[in-house]
Amino acid sequence: MAGCRPVSGWLRTTAFRIAFYGLSVPIVLASPVAALFGRRAMIAHAHGWARLHRGLTRHLLGIHVRIEGVVPTRAVLYAAKHEAMFETLELQLILGGPAMVLKRELARIPLWGWAAQRYGAIVADRAASASALRSMMRDARALTAEGRSILIYPEGTRVAPGARPPLQSGFAGLYRTLGLPVVPIALDAGRVWPRHGAKRSGTVTIRICAPIPPGLPRAEIEAQVHAAINVLND
């Protein structure tokens, strides 16, 4: 029976891809209609998409989530590990819809990128000019003024399980500019959701760490966040 597991994994993965991407097309196409009713309607629309993703990952892939820690009730700067597409949608539901820092390449995807910005995406440019960085900080301040938390993947990109790249400079800029507590988030989604190949059934642990106060020197906050988001790699 052990030899059947890879085949079963590919069948489940294929079924998930057909269902999720097939159902996502009309949801994304309907985004402009939701956006006409304001940001709150856009958030509700996006969270419906995330709930679809959650249901399909549970029932077709057998992937479940174990949450450790407590979600803050006030606006914070979340700094999360990024190992899979899985957490980009799941964290939106768990954390109550924070605004997210998004790579410029994703913001340029037709329709989807526009919808993401209406939801509350903050566009980050890795080769940003000073004016682009100021725009990013201005957008982040405007969203926190609405009571939104901000979610950033401070290592800058998706990484393989066990990888510990240094934090990108955008995190320190947001930390200094916003003056919010930082809540690191560790996770291990890459174990069941590899970048290539079949998905695996199992449980993803998402650990919401204790808040770190604002105002720390850059080297200290970066060291604390880097250690916290990688704690499940130990």
Q: Which residues contact 80 (CB under 8 A, 6 or more apart)?
A: 87, 91, 151, 152, 153, 154, 184, 185, 187, 229
What is the predicted pLDDT for the residue at 32? 84
pTM (2 d.p.): 0.91
Per DSSP bridges, beta strands 121-124 and 150-152 are: unpaired
What is the predicted pLDDT for the residue at 7? 59
Give, for 153, the enclosing helix (H) or strand (E): none
Q: Which residues contact 233 (CB under 8 A, 6 or more apart)?
A: 161, 162, 164, 188
What is the predicted pLDDT for the residue at 3? 46
CA distance 173 to 134: 10
Give, for 56, the enclosing helix (H) or strand (E): helix 39-59
Using DSSP, how many helices (H) and how many strands (E) does the chain show?
A: 9, 7
Output helix, strand, coil percentages for the chain, rounded to the nearest 5. 50, 15, 35
What is the predicted pLDDT for the residue at 219? 97
The residue written with tokens 């077709």 in the block is: 60
Report the SS3 class of residue 122: strand
- Tell me the pLDDT of the chain (234 aa) as tens digits: 444 455 588 999 999 999 999 999 999 889 888 888 888 899 999 999 999 999 999 999 999 999 999 999 999 999 999 999 999 999 999 999 999 998 777 777 777 777 787 888 888 776 656 777 788 888 899 999 999 999 999 998 899 999 999 999 889 999 999 999 999 999 999 999 999 999 999 999 999 999 999 999 999 999 999 999 999 986
